[in-house]
Amino acid sequence: MKSNTDRIILSAVIALSLALFACADTHKGEPAAAKGSIPASGVMAGSQGAGEPIAGVSGPAAERGQSEPQGQVSGNSRLTEDEKNTIEVVRKSRNSVVYITNMQYVRDFFYQSDQPVPQGSGSGFVWDDEGHIVTNFHVIDEGDKFMVSLPNQKQVEAKLVGRDPRKDIAVLELRERVAGLTPVVVGTSRDLQVGQKVIAIGNPFGFDHTVTKGIVSALGRSVPGAGNVTIRDMIQTDASINPGNSGGPLLNSSGELIGMNTMIISPSGTSSGVGFAVPVDTVSKIVPQIIRFGKVIRPDIGGVSFVRDEVAQRAGIAGALVLEVSKGSAAYDQGLRGLYRDNFGRLLIRDVITGIDGTKVKSYDDLFSALDGYKIGDTVTLTIEREGKSRQVKIQLVGTD
């Protein structure tokens, strides 16, 4: 019995010894991990010095003094240079763009009192440190009260400083001082090129601080404006300008203001179409006057009113058809006369302005745009036609609003 027990114990010892010998031999023959190889655990096994931590163990790579593992790319590194530029422009302009709500007072039938009711909305941008906000005229048109939503979602009431419907520009002023707003960096539209990148920021459909990107599609475009005149030299862009974008800034890749997003023209009448912006050189010319005087004072012939272009065109007139000339004005003293009635009550045409300093004038719209290039006090030579005869008249331009 004892001999059997001894044999069993001896067999177990021999088996255990063979197993230990096999494990030791296998480990000895296993090759060392190559530098930079990744073992099954996924931890990087690089060359280690005394006390050097193993890559992938606790703590970010920056704290360990190591770069990110090969094959891994940070989110910022995946961005293109163009994307980084757009992000930077948007970041810098974040505190320069606001949301404007146009409100009208409506009589409450039950309480017999006037209640402010939202009647439209749009965007605007901070012009200076005095709290002036620039937007489109059509954004504030017919409004009685204006609420401005700031980037931090705070709402502040603003008053209307002045407007220029013919250029679709208006200026508001916040009724209280607000910290943290940043005026836009005003650039120039003089050297714009078709194809250059533009960024439009606004609040389309009430979604605040929405960004769209595109290019300058064309320059020098003319679009219909208020007051029976055309807004000329508009910037055409393929950056989306949807309802609510009106009045927001159009920026270049340096983050400079180059235009004010104004309208979209769509043959289908939908929100998709061609976008247009008032050039910043026009904005820079108009806004300081509104802030200073509450209105725009522009050069004008003085004392002369004109027949609307559509009426003149129906009568077959090519030029600015004079409606009336005020007595005592320089134009009256120079012999300019408007429409008159003969003994039979018929309305007859007298003077039509067909040129200014050699530039042809085919409508009042042309004359208005031509005068925009002069200063108050300049002397111009008008070409006047009456009953098929032409004459030249010199007029000193005066200021008018």
Catalogue the active-site residues. 138, 168, 246
Q: Which two tokens stand for residue 318?
A: 């090519």
* Contact indicator for 288, 280 with CB cutoff of 8 Å: no
Spatial neighbors of 213 by CB under 8 A, at least 6 apart, are 86, 197, 198, 199, 200, 239
For 131, phi then psi, to 5°, come to: 90, 20
